[in-house]
Structure 1
Amino acid sequence: MPGEVNRDPVCLFCRIVDGEIPSITVHEDDSTLAFMDISPATDGHLLVIPKKHAKDLGEIGADDLAAVTSVAQKLARVQLDKLGATGVNLINNWGESAWQSVFHFHLHVIPRYADDPAKDSLKLPWNPTPGDQDRIAAAAAALTD
């Protein structure tokens, strides 16, 4: 049927897109939906998703990925301007070992607030330290076309 969009009837985010589960929407267009995260890491933490179901970064089409990224960029700028955020994290989790809990591609758009723990309780688990140069080079060689 023309205009029909792929949905997974048991997917939480597809059900939000279809209006079966309420959300606080901050942006909607033909291909994306952005809504507030109900378990926010910071004040203003939101999610941007494609309306078409794609399980993860490996499944999402290039056009939908571009649309989601564009909306995330626009809303990140709004977070800086309207919420007084001092930075923004864009986070995508692909797979359970990367903390993906809802298997519908989504970008977390997380405003950050320097020195304001009342608004920002996010503590990322990665603490950058210098890596082994041989392992870095080996990984680069494997990734190079």
Structure 2
Amino acid sequence: MPPYDPDNIFGKILRGEIPAHKVYEDEHSLAFMDVMPQGEGHTLVIPKAPARGLLDAEPQTLAALIGTVQRVGRAVKAAFDADGLTLFQYNEPAGGQTVFHLHFHLVPRHDGVPLKRHEGGMADNAVLAEHAARIRAALESTA
């Protein structure tokens, strides 16, 4: 497996070099809006610890991260009054991974509404900001 590259886009987001619409942050993880959403409210959750993917992450990193995935997932589902939630996690190019920093995709789902293509283009910043605010409000109401 290739080594972790700290100059990946999520590493740059963690260092504040690239802006992101953040929805949650703690000492171990960060959640923010996907700029190429497959549905309204598509959120990413990443560890702050360096890990290329699931297979090279430290067990304690995964343990902390999955708690954040669950907490943010509940808020994402509530914020968009979704019928369900799809969780994606890809590893290595053959597995569909394109950003080589461990991350989970949380996509709120509504019955009968298909996912958009992930390569469908960048979302409008104002829309992403509004979606992030909705998720933050849902997190506050469930805290």
What TM-score do you get using the length of structure 1 for normalisation?
0.73
Instruction: Identify unmatched segments of 5+ residues in structure 1.
Output: 1-6, 124-145
SS in 2 for 1:68: helix
How many pairs does the alignment contain? 115
Provide the aligned C-alpha RMSD in A. Answer: 1.8
Is residue 101 from structure 1 mapped to residue 98 from structure 2 by the alignment? yes
Q: Which has the larger radius of gyration?
A: 1
Which aligned segments of 4 or more residues in structure 1 are displaced greater than 4 angstroms? Answer: none
2:116 and 2:59 mapped to 1: Cα distance?
A: 33
> Mapping of 1:15-94 within 5 angstroms?
15-94=12-91
SS in 2 for 1:78: helix
Provide the residue aligned with 1:121 in structure 2.
Answer: 116
**CA displacement 1:20-75 (0-9 Å, x = unmatched):** 00000000000100000000001000110001110111111111111111111111
**CA displacement 1:114-144 (0-9 Å, x = unmatched):** 1345xx5369xxxxxxxxxxxxxxxxxxxxx
Residue type matched to 2:116 in 1?
A: S
The structure, 1 or 2, with the larger RCO (C-alpha pairs under 8 Å, 6+ apart) is 2
What TM-score do you get using the length of structure 2 for normalisation?
0.74
